[in-house]
Amino acid sequence: MLEHLLEALQGLPKELIAFLVSMLPIAELRGGLPVAVLQLDLPVWRAYWICVAGNFLPMIPLVLLLDPVARYLRRWKAFDRFFEWLFARTRRRGKVVERYEALGLILFVAIPLPVTGGWTGAAAAYVFGVRPRLAIPAILAGILIAGLVVLGALQGALHIPGLFASM
């Protein structure tokens, strides 16, 4: 799927491609950084800041608008089912946010695993009632930490002979 997206974005500046991939809910920075460094050949720290910005940009409107948008859309059954699924899933995965609020949100977003990250962190902030003035900086801190973890993993993996030979 990512290959199709990269093909569709071909011709755009490398930095913009990395930024856009990092904005996506599934890829986020965890997908954007490897694409930026390994496929687009961007310098590591430049890729880091571009991908952090791309991952964080959607978080501000998401945190601020999730409540009113969800309330409005839940009037229709299909949207109500989607939000029930999303919020139930977030409650199951977000116990650390429920317990530690903003600090838990930082940890939740910082762990670079599937179904953690900024997008799910924004949903967790909403579900567990973390106020936007705490949630937005907490999500940013988590994204910054996750980026460092991903960079560390990338740097370690780049030193394993032949690991990325096919890329």
Asked whether residue 107 carries a pLDDT value surpassing 80, the answer given is yes
- Quote the percentage of the chain above a pLDDT of 70: 93
- Mean pLDDT to the nearest integer, 115-125: 93
Q: What's the chain look like in SS3?
A: CHHHHHHHHCCCCHHHHHHHHHHCCCCHHHHHHHHHHHHCCCCHHHHHHHHHHHHHCCHHHHHHHHHHHHHHHCCCHHHHHHHHHHHHHHHHHCHHHHHHHHHHHHHHHHCCCCCCCHHHHHHHHHHCCCCHHHHHHHHHHHHHHHHHHHHHHHHHHHCCCCCCCCC
Residue 128 CB neighbours (<10 A) = 21
Tokens read off for 156:
């370690």
- Place 162 in a pLDDT band, splitting at 50, 70 and 90: low
Per-domain residue ranges of the chain: 2-56+150-158, 59-145
Tokens read off for 4:
């199709």
- Mean pLDDT to the nearest integer, 84-91: 90
Asked whether residue 136 carries a pLDDT value surpassing 90, the answer given is yes
Amino acid at 86: L
pLDDT at 161: 63
pLDDT digits (tens, 9 = 90+) for 24-73: 998 999 999 999 999 999 999 999 999 999 999 999 999 999 999 999 99
Asked whether residue 147 carries a pLDDT value surpassing 60, the answer given is yes
- Place 166 in a pLDDT band, splitting at 50, 70 and 90: very low
